[in-house]
Amino acid sequence: MAVQISPSILSADFARLADEVEAVAPAADWLHVDVMDNHFVPNLTLGLPVVQSLLKHTSLPVDCHLMIEDPDRWAPGYAEAGARNVTIHAEAVKSPVRTFREIRSAGARAGLAVNPGTPVEPYADLLAEIDMLLLMTVEPGFGGQRFLDLVLPKLRRARALVAAHGGSVWLQVDGGVSEETIERCAEAGADVFVAGSAVYSAGDPARAVQALRKQAERATAHAAWAQA
DSSP bridge pairs for 65:
34, 87
x-marked contacts with ligand DX5 along 182-221 as a string, rule CB under 6 A = ------------xxxxx-----------------------
Residue 222 has what DSSP assignment?
A: T
119 by DSSP, 3-state: which? coil
Q: Measured from the CB atom, is 96 or 176 closer to ligand DX5?
A: 176
Task: Select from ligand DX5, Zn ion, none the partner in contact with residue 177, using the beta carbon and a kind-dependent cut-off of 5 to 8 Å.
Answer: ligand DX5
Tell me the closest approach of the beta carbon of residue 41 to ligand DX5, in angstroms.
Answer: 7
Alpha carbon distance 137, 131 (integer Å): 19
Rule CB under 5 A: is residue 174 a binding residue for Zn ion?
A: yes
- Burial label for 203, CB within 10 Å (0-12, 13-18, 19+), is exposed
Tell me the closest approach of the beta carbon of residue 61 to Zn ion, in angstroms.
Answer: 15
Residue 34 appears among annotated catalytic residues: yes
* CA-wise closest residue to 115 among 167, 154, 144: 154
- Burial label for 119, CB within 10 Å (0-12, 13-18, 19+), is exposed
Rule CB under 5 A: is residue 34 a binding residue for Zn ion?
A: yes
31 and 65 Cβ atoms separated by less than 8 Å: no
Residue 191 appears among annotated catalytic residues: no
Rule CB under 5 A: is residue 20 a binding residue for Zn ion?
A: no
Q: Measured from the CB atom, is 47 or 144 closer to ligand DX5?
A: 144
x-marked contacts with ligand DX5 along 127-166 as a string, rule CB under 6 A = -----------x-xx-xxx---------------------
Query: What's the half-sphere exposure (Cβ side, CA atoms, 13 Å) at 224?
Result: 4
Within 68-107, which residues bind ligand DX5 (CB under 6 A)? none
Tell me the closest approach of the beta carbon of residue 35 to Zn ion, in angstroms.
Answer: 9
* CA-wise closest residue to 191 among 124, 135, 142, 113: 135
Tell me the closest approach of the beta carbon of residue 105 to ligand DX5, in angstroms.
Answer: 26
Site for ligand DX5, rule CB under 6 A: 8, 10-11, 32, 34, 65, 138, 140-141, 143-145, 174-177, 194-198
